[in-house]
Amino acid sequence: MEEQMGVPVEDPNFDQAFRSWEADNPRTMFVADDDGALVGVGGRLLDAAIEFSQDIQAARMVLSPSDESQNFYARHGFVPAEELLVRSFEYKK
């Protein structure tokens, strides 16, 4: 009842239950736009980030995509950068 009213509810099992659900379900999510077509949530979020970056006249957007996500970003106009120098760090977990 409290949750339906927008009041935070303490649930000590939430983290474990969510992690279990997340492991069992693919992370691809879609929403239907006004005409009923399925549109990916990630695409909409990325489009909003691109628009914001253009609004503030950012020089560039830089990503560190996974191998699996490179095609997604390419569909949104991202290309490999050759002018950047990068030093990566690896940390023990």
| Per-residue pLDDT of the chain in tens (93 residues, 90 and over written 9) | 566 677 777 888 888 887 888 788 766 665 556 666 656 778 888 999 999 999 999 988 998 888 888 888 998 999 988 887 877 788 887
Whole-number pLDDT of residue 56: 93
Q: What is the pLDDT of residue 86?
A: 76
CA angle 46, 50, 53 (to 5 degrees): 135
pLDDT given at position 13: 87
Q: The whole model's pTM is what?
A: 0.53
